[in-house]
Amino acid sequence: MADRPVPVVEKRLMDVKLGELGTWLGGRDFTPNGLISAVRRGHDRYYNKYINVKKGGIGGIAMLIVGYVAISYVWEYDHIKHDRWRKYH
Amino acid sequence: MLSRAVFLSANFLKGSAPLGAGLVHAPRSLHTSSQSLAPVPPLPEKPGKVRHGFVPEEFFQLLYPKTGVTGPYMFGTGLIIYLLSKEIYVINQETLAGISIGAIIIYAVKKFGPSVAAFADQLNEEKVAKVQEVKDLAMTNLAQAIENEKKEQWRVEGRSMLFDAKRNNVAMLLETNYRERQHMVTNEVKRRLDYQIALQHLNRRLEQEHMINWVEKSVISSITPQQEKESIAKCITDLKALAKSTQAKAVI
């Protein structure tokens, strides 16, 4: 289906087969520049899809807030662990 | 398509994975190509669809082929039950606070959402109208400039006629000048010729008079005194004869 053989590293995550995941991870750009550019790309994709539109909805920021709540719960888990009702699950 | 609630933590460890929700069925481009679109495309009208406010639609589409419509809801229920039973999510006083805040937020969004959206749209409309005004003004100005330009081009065509008229003027001036000069030339030449003629006349007259004078003088000088007496006596006798003849005629 591909018109020319593409090196594994350049494929998107969803197109990488499970066996190629290791090589794909190994080949990605982990330099600070690479990380920052990856963060920027992700931000641009999210921003242009949910926020930078003519009639935005609640979904754009609601997803961010839900994500923030989830992350803060995960970071606080070691502290919240002590409020558990049962010792053995 | 990655549900944020579950996969976000795992994804965050892979620093290079995209944080946004991706498209499943959209055309994929490689990481290496980065095009810059030259005429900027207009903003999309609507954002990506999100169900219940925080789950992107792509998650539902992902599970639809395998599990149908209720799949994601069953997944959500199962997830919640798992989190609660294993006490990965602990119920404490914060849960109550969270539920209350969530209820208030949902009520506020449902109640005031449309009016806030209308207000924001109106602000946007005003901005767009202002810019559109500027653009329209610029367009009319440019159209006017085009009209003026066409008029100037039409005038340029007329300019050749102007030059023809001017050329005619100049030709006429030249002609007039030429004729004047010719006139002057003929006049001058005529004057000079007249002068020559007058000169010749004068010469001839002088010669004539001089000759006449000379002839007279020589004749007079040739008349000796003797001849003069004889001629005077003859004249007297002639006169007497004449007097007699006239007297005779008068008597008759």
Residue B49's alpha-carbon distances to B52, B54, B130, in angstroms, are: 10, 10, 30
Residue B49 amino acid letter: K
Kindly state whether residue B14 falls inside one of the protein's structural domains: yes
Q: Would you state the structure tokens that stand for residue B96, as one six-digit string?
A: 């109550």
Q: Provide Rg for chain A, Cα atoms.
A: 19
Tell me, yes or no, whether B79 lies in a domain: no
Is position B86 within any domain? no
Q: A85, B95 in Cβ contact below 8 A? A: no
**What's the pLDDT score for residue B227?**
78
- State pLDDT tens for residues A43-70: 998 888 888 888 888 888 899 999 999 9
Residue B18 placed within a domain: yes
Separation of alpha carbons A67 and B78, rounded Å: 20
For the purposes of burial, counting CB atoms within 10 Å of the CB of B237, is it exposed (0-12), middle (13-18) or buried (19 or more)?
exposed
- B6 inside domain: yes
Pick A67's closest partner by Cβ from B8, B32, B124.
B8
Inter-chain contact B121–A55, Cβ cutoff 8 Å? Answer: yes
**Maximal C-alpha separation, chain A:** 58
Domain residues for B8? Answer: 2-28
ipTM of predicted assembly, 2 dp: 0.77
Selected for mutation to probe chain B from A49, A52, A72 (highest B CB count within 10 Å) is: A49
Q: Is residue B109 part of a domain?
A: no
Residue B167: inside a domain, yes or no? no
Q: Residue B102 has which token pair?
A: 């969530």
The shortest CB-CB distance from B16 to any of A30, A60, A65 is to A30
Residue B13 is assigned to a structural domain of this protein: yes
Contact B44 A14 (CB under 8 A): no
pLDDT tens across B195-236, in order?
A: 999 999 999 999 999 999 999 988 888 877 777 888 889 999
Of B17, B24, B43, the CB nearest to A53: B43
Q: pTM to 2 decimals?
A: 0.55
Distance from CA of B90 to the nearest CA of A (A): 6
Q: How many domains does chain B have?
A: 1
Contact: B20, A45; criterion CB under 8 Å: yes
CB of B4 closer than 8 Å to CB of A70: yes
Distance separating alpha carbons of residues B186 and B180, to the nearest angstrom? 10
Residue the block writes with tokens 């406010």:
B53
Q: Which residue has the tokens 């102007």?
A: B162
Q: Which residue in chain B is spatially nearest to A65 when comparing CA positions?
A: B54
